[in-house]
Amino acid sequence: MSFPDKLLLWLHIGFAVFAIGPLTAVTSVTPRYIRARDVNVLKYLNRSTRLFGLLTLGVFVFGLALGRSALAKPYLSVSMTLFIVAAVLLVIIDRDQRSAMQALSTESTADDAKVQTGRIAALSGLTALIWLVILFLMVFFNP
């Protein structure tokens, strides 16, 4: 493996560890703070979701650059497709976080953001599962 490929691999793994890990943690704790009606923490979690969500694009970009000669292999195609699905789910999670903040910021106690709580919990769990499937594909099918 050449030095540029080693550098790309290092960047790919570094972005995965320092972006996807915190992103998974941030999205998974959001329902707890919706139930606690803590809007200030929700604002922080929403900003963190956006930041780490954007940083996960580095994983995708450096992965594309690293696998440039093998992009037609099925495990890479499946991994990239799953990554895009996870990115779409993260957009939905971000939307639900903002909706929950808006619902909890009003004076009305009628809307306690239960819909957003359940959806964020389900989608963040699904997103975490997608990351694990991608990890499995990268470890066991990468030559």
* pLDDT tens track for 46-96: 999 999 999 999 999 999 999 888 888 999 999 999 999 999 999 999 999
pTM: 0.91
pLDDT of 109 reads: 66
Residue 92's CB: how many other CB atoms inside 10 A?
13
Query: How much of the chain exceeds pLDDT 90, in percent?
Result: 78
pLDDT of 58 reads: 94
Amino acid identity of 106?
A: T
* pLDDT tens track for 108-137: 766 667 888 999 999 999 999 999 999 999
Token match 């943690």: residue?
Answer: 25
Pick 114 or 44 by higher pLDDT.
Answer: 44
Q: What is the CA radius of gyration of the chain?
A: 17
Token match 């990351």: residue?
Answer: 131
* pLDDT tens track for 14-32: 999 999 999 999 999 999 9
pLDDT of 2 reads: 87
Nearest Cα neighbor of 96 from 120, 123, 125, 118 is 120
Contacts of 96 (CB under 8 A, 6+ apart): 116, 119, 120, 123
